[in-house]
């Protein structure tokens, strides 16, 4: 792997397979009473989050600690970014403290790529604007593979605010490398026709029922209001057309997996009884986030 982990697009299939295999080794650890390994003892990881996060930030921190590393988390609102310091100055300041890796989330697409050219420490992209969120796609793949033999030939429907979603983009790259069939679905204002260029063979539909028909996996996405200047659809129209409801599940395969990267908005893009149903693996995704991030941190630091 190149220095750090910036995206899925440039990863080889073999690298993805190696990370997923290592993450599988770490899965049982989560249920042990002593969850700590000493593989990265003495190393220091800085988590720098310029955007809101619950799952990603916490699980990177837990992953670092379970590997025996020290982890420091910094959020933009509690840092000198709030006093007007530039991104480069903030990162140079942190780099002077000699971290062994920097995990960062930023609203600007490409921010970690830019910084990785200037900093010695490897950078892990924890979400850059609307571009990529590589560890989310890896943990999603691990979660699917907990229930299916392989990704090849699976029918995966990705539904919602595709255009603003770094989760969708990273998943499209990963799933298409492994031969899954991808259907993208959402309102036209959130799903431009050119999106299918991201993946050879991805299909676009604006009809949710058509997207879900025969699906092995349904990935729901939150509407990213924070990335929109004007309303792309009348608010009351979204749920009836693009909200996942129990009756939709009958259209999919009987053992369909319902996924969502979180945070979920109940009653907005997903019904509560679907989010809490037997078909939902949303909390398994959260759990797998730790194993995947352990695998990524170990790999970039060794």
Residues annotated as catalytic are: 55-56, 83, 105, 133
Q: What is the DSSP letter of 280?
A: B
Q: How far is the CB of 290 from ligand NCD (least distance, A)?
A: 13
Nearest to 172 by CA among 209, 221, 214, 227: 221
Distance in angstroms (rounded) separating the CA atoms of residues 175 and 158: 11
**Which residue's CB is nearer to ligand NCD, number 122 or number 261?**
261
CA angle 78, 297, 114 (to 5 degrees): 60
261 near ligand NCD, rule: CB under 6 A: yes
Count of residues in contact with ligand NCD, rule CB under 6 A: 11
133 near ligand NCD, rule: CB under 6 A: yes
243 near ligand NCD, rule: CB under 6 A: no
> How many Å separate Cα 53 from the centre of its chain?
12
115 near ligand NCD, rule: CB under 6 A: no
Binds ligand NCD (CB under 6 A): choice among 167, 180, 184, 300:
167
222 near ligand NCD, rule: CB under 6 A: yes
268 near ligand NCD, rule: CB under 6 A: no
Strands (E), the chain: 44-49, 70-75, 101-106, 123-128, 155-159, 181-185, 203-205, 217-220, 257-259
Show the tokens assigned to 152: 């090849």
Taking residue 114's Cβ as centre, other Cβ atoms within 10 Å add up to 16
Q: How far is the CB of 129 from ligand NCD (least distance, A)?
A: 9
**Which residue's CB is nearer to ligand NCD, number 136 or number 280?**
136
**Which residue's CB is nearer to ligand NCD, number 43 or number 280?**
280
Which residues make up the interface to ligand NCD (CB under 6 A)? 55-56, 127, 133, 136, 166-167, 222, 224, 261-262
């Amino acid at each position: 792997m190149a220095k750090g982990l910036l995206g899925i697009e440039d990863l080889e299939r073999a690298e993805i397979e190696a990370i997923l295999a290592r993450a599988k080794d770490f899965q049982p650890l989560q249920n042990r009473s002593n969850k700590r390994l000493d593989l990265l003892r003495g190393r220091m990881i800085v988590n720098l989050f310029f955007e809101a996060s619950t799952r990603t930030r916490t699980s990177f921190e837990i992953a670092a600690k379970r590997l025996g590393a020290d982890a420091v988390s910094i959020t933009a609102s509690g840092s000198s970014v709030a006093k007007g310091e530039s991104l480069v100055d903030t990162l140079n300041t942190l780099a002077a403290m000699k971290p062994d890796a920097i995990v960062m989330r930023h609203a600007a697409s490409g921010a970690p790529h830019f910084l990785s050219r200037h900093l010695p420490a490897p950078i892990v992209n924890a979400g850059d604007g609307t571009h990529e969120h590589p560890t989310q796609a890896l943990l999603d793949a691990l979660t699917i593979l907990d229930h299916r033999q392989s990704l090849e030939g699976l029918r995966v429907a990705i539904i919602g605010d595709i255009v603003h979603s770094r989760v969708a983009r990273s998943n499209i790259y990963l799933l298409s490398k492994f031969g899954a069939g991808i259907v993208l679905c959402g309102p036209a204002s959130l799903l431009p026709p050119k999106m299918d260029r991201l993946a050879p063979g991805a299909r676009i539909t604006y009809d949710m029922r058509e997207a879900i028909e025969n699906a092995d996996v349904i990935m729901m996405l939150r509407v990213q209001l924070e990335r929109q200047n004007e309303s792309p659809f009348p608010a009351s129209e979204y749920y009836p057309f693009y909200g996942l409801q129990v009756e939709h599940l009958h259209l999919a395969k009987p053992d369909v997996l319902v996924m969502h990267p979180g945070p979920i908005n109940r009653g907005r893009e997903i019904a509560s009884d679907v989010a809490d149903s037997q078909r939902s693996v949303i909390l398994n995704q959260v759990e797998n986030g730790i194993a995947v991030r352990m695998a990524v941190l170990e790999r970039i630091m060794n």
